[in-house]
Structure 1
Amino acid sequence: MKRFILFLLALMLAGCASEKGIIDRDGYQLDTRHQAQAAYPRIKVLVVHYTAGDFDTSLATLTDRQVSAHYLVPARPPVHDGKPRIWQLVPEQQLAWHAGSSFWRGATRINDTSIGIELENRGWQNVAGAKQFAPFEQQQIRALIPLMKSIISSYNILPQNVVAHADIAPQRKDDPGPLFPWRELAEQGIGAWPDPQRVAFYLNGRPPYQPVETASLLDLLARYGYDVKPGMTAGQQKRVIMAFQMHFRPTSWSGAADAETQAIAEALLEKYGQD
């Protein structure tokens, strides 16, 4: 009789564990049928960096105690079983220290809400007093595209939240620089890009490099998500404009406030909304 009772209890527990929304764990059960509405995804932003060094140096730095990133993509990824190999250094659900002091669309501490991808690339060199950036290898970009698509899909990351390190920290950073193919990625469904016809509409026949009021342009950039504060110096203002231009108008990224930059900002705000 005792065995029969124990058998019935086991059946009842098994039935409970098989209920929809009930998860059986070692020593306890979870009832997941009542989900809170005041809950938000942790991962909202995807940040692209370059390493400013070779692969071995970059790997050593990113696996040390000072900085980290979720992924490291070699300039020329080795191919195994017909697929390029990418290094995962931090699990996606864990926080990596890749963004540093940062701001995007009203949020600070971007490390807490982002995944960081580092691309092996030497960055820029000073050539005759000007920054000269290194190009990205095509095989690196081909490997990067499916990785970014997977991350964006997994966390429903909005196009405007696929950003450069320079976008979220324009006073400190330039990466991944003006040679990173943001437009090519946007054509693959990765990240934001303005519609050319809407840029032309907002340009309204003005010469692209016609000067515009810096304060008006910065207001647009602030609405889109950049960190624009009262009392910024002219140099700080220039850095914000330069970061935006590197991303969305890489043919000319002097940091000057001009009509085409303004038109691009207006087209992006129309398409993706404001902060």
Structure 2
Amino acid sequence: MTKPLVTLSIEEFGFALATLGAEDIAAGLLKPMYGELTEESWELVLRAASHSLLSKGLIVRMEETEIEFEPEFLKMLMHFAQSRSMIRAYSDSLGQEKVLTIHQGTGNNDTYLYHLAVDQRVHLFTWTEPKEWEEELFRFYSGQQEPFVEQPTQFTVTEAQWNMLTNEDKYTSLVNFMSDWELSYESRELLSRWHESFEKSRRQLDNLSIIRYTSNQTDLPLPEQALLMLHTEQGFWSIANGKSNSEHDALIEITQHSKPSFRHQLRTWIDRFASPVPHH
């Protein structure tokens, strides 16, 4: 059975959410795009969106005081608005800003909703299941360019060293940093290669995170866990929190990935969010 795929403009999505009473989420979507509009202007934007949804068959009845959505579409909207747990992928490294969120249902069911936003203007929705996510996330981050190495390599820096490397307000050359750091020759070589890619990409990092709301939380919570990624023509890197080497100094693991090692890392993250699925 083919899964339903719903494609919405940002205006259609905002109108549908506002109609269901999720005005805050709708405003959060539309205001960055439109800024502050008069009430009349908002009415024009939303009226056009409502007629568009009607023409797509996603609104089945529209009267002055009542709007009835197509049942499957309504289920998706409610799932999106009520979900308290998601895995969120963000990428802005391949010429497009893309945000993929997979929303877990409330209660004890294993239903997941797939939502992909492209440059915030186009929104795609469908139902999904954990066994599909590794391939989805792999394609999401690698696109058509797959700059993977044959053998993965990894080095670690302390959290303090990482903060120095990424401090935008106080740029210092890498040579000055490394002269004070106790790193092996191999780590220095890798760090130099990574840092060159980091600067060439204008310090643009993609990320993958797991986000869960508490029952009384209204603001977007900080991610439970976040994985940073750097995609360049010279290689594909990830940056993750490693084990602490002392009570005070966490380690940051920087890995240059082969295709299998990146897939393995994605599976690990998927299993943290959803019930582990069999891997072949």
Q: TM-score, normalised to structure 1's length?
A: 0.26
When Rg is computed on C-alpha atoms for both structures, the one with the higher figure is: 1
Q: TM-score, normalised to structure 2's length?
A: 0.26
Richer in strand (by share) = 2
